[in-house]
Amino acid sequence: MLHVKTPEEVLALIEEEFDFAGQPELVQLSAALGRTLAEDIAAEEYVPDFDRSTVDGYAVRAKDTFGCTDAIPAILPLQGEVLMGEGAEFALNPEECVAVPTGGAVPKGADSVVMIEYTEDYGDGTIGVSKSAAPGQNMIFRGDDVYPGKVILKKGRVLSSQDIGALAAIGRVEVPVVKKLTVGVISTGDELVEPSEKPSAGQVRDVNSPMLQAMLTGFGANVINYGIVIDDEALLSEKVHKAVAECDAVLLSGGSSVGVKDAACRIIESMGSLLLHGIAIKPGKPTILGKTGQKPLVGLPGHPVAAYFITKLFILPLLARLSGKQLESYSVPARITESVSANHGRAQVHCCRLERRAGELWATPIRGKSGLITTLAGADGYFVIDRDCEGLPQGAEIQVYTGE
Amino acid sequence: MLHVKTPEEVLALIEEEFDFAGQPELVQLSAALGRTLAEDIAAEEYVPDFDRSTVDGYAVRAKDTFGCTDAIPAILPLQGEVLMGEGAEFALNPEECVAVPTGGAVPKGADSVVMIEYTEDYGDGTIGVSKSAAPGQNMIFRGDDVYPGKVILKKGRVLSSQDIGALAAIGRVEVPVVKKLTVGVISTGDELVEPSEKPSAGQVRDVNSPMLQAMLTGFGANVINYGIVIDDEALLSEKVHKAVAECDAVLLSGGSSVGVKDAACRIIESMGSLLLHGIAIKPGKPTILGKTGQKPLVGLPGHPVAAYFITKLFILPLLARLSGKQLESYSVPARITESVSANHGRAQVHCCRLERRAGELWATPIRGKSGLITTLAGADGYFVIDRDCEGLPQGAEIQVYTGE
């Protein structure tokens, strides 16, 4: 007999029962944004591969400029010029200088660059330097950025645009990432019609399939939508078997009625094991989770709001676990505009809208009866009321999770 | 003569000089995630279109149950059953009850539903109700969710997966969104080679093009990468003209040297007007912004870190303005693990890594010389030090911006 579990217990169960099951693949750098690194990335060469100036100016030996001032500049013969994109073919002669552009190569023998602002070209082949340079000044040395073997990004990292830049810098134009998971979505219920259809009496449109498809796509999974299955255990079982064969994870949603829930449980048990029957959270209690082999099989609540939160709070973390993805969510502090009551004993999740008032963030809970999809529309985030909390007074500080 | 502007002045300039220039298009619901709504979305029908039960139970007239208890249940003849997905074809007779499943239609005449847990089926065609119902209990009424004309999502909204669910609920399977902007990216510099190439002496790989492409793709723009142009004003001008003809906005990057900057300025002035020459921010000062017609032409700094921040802080907001997109970024509070010095007089931006310590978020600035791309790699976010601030002590609270 499975008991209702707390959210913390469910997350622990997921850690315990599921493990990394990802496969690596190589993708082009231009397609790597948002993908999960399959291995640590180490540089294979020096970046930059030469000593580089960070300013327009003159490469010098610092000691040749020591003590110079506006009044008594150091006068250094101009030995030559380094052109952008070309190596410094010659070494700097002592007590001379070489013109270098920003990003240009600094010749051997030079240990610093004097900015052009602190120099004067006398026009007779000599340059006056009016500010003494410190060794290393205005230079990036070979390998300052990276050197062979330096790990610049770690396995599990979800690649950001900055990371793409760093990969370009070290010449990694093919990136080892974790293959996208394929997740199957099945909606059940005699009352459901496709969103494109006009519901007849007693019917409603299938909200969960398109919503879950969007959530899973946003997460970075491939989605196979198996459409709507009527309340028929044999048909449902057939569809679930097909989905399990084709996918890495399968989400069943709908089936608000007891009969369908029971059917889903029997199907999961016949294919593997049932791990969870009920989460102490509102909305979302009637959630079931099982596995067949290493593949999760989830029975989500039929109410779209409940299906949304269960997916957000438990299923995406589960998929992150399967695909080795470091899923981080940061919350922002806000004050609540209205008091909210809570069910003692069950964590409670609310969608909210956010607005700024005098530099502070205020959250307004979106209210509505259970099952109303419009309590989701236009939300800027959500917050959780702990199961030990009996409610929040107006003005209380809460933590709001924003973003997809 | 254009003076260096503060970040606030730059954002105000963008508001003043640029306006919504988006075009609407219809996309399928399955492709609408992350797109920007081109108009308010109002429902055209009632959702649900019938009175609906939120529990498995019996539809009753509440007053027929008043006063009943466990000891003295109200005994109501079972008039019939409503099946899932079918309308209630009959009206409830007074002092009788009708079985309804969760989500099923409630027959006319009934004003509440008693949960099955509070009833007993005597098996003789009557049902005992042991808890009195309040009118409206356990029901969603026709139009409770939405009614014709009710605006559920506003123009400018960036569609989330919840919004996709709400659109499905009202049958909006084609969604009016703002056409994606097309943004051209050009890198300049004699020292640049493609990321796939091995740099020779004095050369470095082009980091900005792939990084900007990723940032712009993540923002939701189409990107045309015009590749690397060498430092030649005629060639650069030709490429910029081509890009302006094909794109809604053009970003030139690179050209750390004074010559290229001047060339970019001349090209922009010849095609329209130069609006900005320098931002009081570190890194990122050498930024230029102009427009030709309503199209922005941007000269980004060559240093990847500077190009990243200028794009993040000013160019994405500019593109959001052009496409009517409500761009929201929320910051998370964190404490800084090390002191950071700052240049009085110039706002300063730093990448950082985040970690949790005893429930608190701590930010470690990623240090490195200007121009090192690895100060971007692996960052979890960034923070800004105000221009009036002379530095931050260890442990100071900062606001960190996370996410793409």
Domains A7-23+179-323 and A52-140 share a fold: no
Chain A residues whose CB is inside 8 A of the B32 CB are 214
Nearest CB to B205; choose among A161, A171, A211: A171
Please give the share of chain A, as a percent, with pLDDT higher than 90.
81
Instruction: Return the residue of A nearest to B103 by Cα.
Output: A256
Chain B within 8 Å of A268 (Cβ-Cβ)? no
Choose the mutation target among B161, B222, B232 for the interface with A, i.e. most A CBs under 10 Å. B161
Window 87-126 of A, Cβ < 8 Å to B: 87-88, 101-105
Distance of alpha carbon B209 from the chain centroid: 23
For the stretch A58-69, pLDDT in tens is 999 999 999 999
**CATH number of the structural domain B24-47+145-178:** 3.90.105.10
**How near does any CA of chain A get to the CA of B203, in Å?**
5
Domain regions of chain A by residue span? 7-23+179-323, 24-47+145-178, 52-140, 331-402
Q: Which two tokens stand for residue A316?
A: 């995406």
> What one-letter code names the amino acid at A302?
G
Indicate the range of A32-46, A368-382, B72-86 predicted with least confidence: A368-382
Check residue A173 and give its pLDDT: 97
Q: Does domain B7-22+180-323 have CATH number 3.40.980.10?
A: yes
Check residue B1 and give its pLDDT: 60
Average pLDDT for residues A354-364, to the nearest whole number?
94
**B255: alpha, beta or left, given left = phi > 0 and alpha = psi -120 to 50?**
left
Check residue A254 and give its pLDDT: 77
Contact B233, B48 (CB under 8 A): no
Q: Is A366 helix (H, G, I), strand (E, B) or coil?
A: coil
Q: Got the DSSP string for A375-389?
A: GTTT--EEEEE-TT-
Chain A within 8 Å of B183 (Cβ-Cβ)? no
Check residue A255 and give its pLDDT: 63
* CATH architecture, range A7-23+179-323: 3-Layer(aba) Sandwich (3.40)
Check residue B257 and give its pLDDT: 61
Contact A287, A301 (CB under 8 A): yes
Residue A212 pLDDT greater than 70, yes or no: yes
Question: Which of A187, A202, A262, A207 is closest to B84 using CA atoms?
Answer: A202
Check residue A256 and give its pLDDT: 58
CATH fold of B52-140, please? Molybdopterin biosynthesis moeA protein; domain 3 (2.170.190)
Structure ipTM: 0.94
A371 pLDDT band, cuts 50/70/90, is low
CATH fold of B331-402, please? Beta-clip (2.40.340)
For the stretch A308-341, pLDDT in tens is 999 999 999 999 999 999 888 899 999 999 999 8
**Dihedral angle at the C-alpha atoms of A220, A181, A189, A211, nearest 10 degrees?**
0
pLDDT < 50 positions in chain B: none
- The Cα–Cα gap between B29 and B234 comes to 46
Check residue A378 and give its pLDDT: 87
Residue contact A369–B144, C-beta within 8 A: yes
- The Cα–Cα gap between A52 and A147 comes to 15
Average pLDDT for residues A389-396, to the nearest whole number?
93
Phi, psi values for residue A316, rounded to 5°: -65, -45
**How near does any CA of chain B get to the CA of A317, in Å?**
17
Choose the mutation target among A116, A162, A197 for the interface with B, i.e. most B CBs under 10 Å. A162
Choose the mutation target among A140, A160, A215, A308 for the interface with B, i.e. most B CBs under 10 Å. A160
Residue A158 pLDDT greater than 70, yes or no: yes
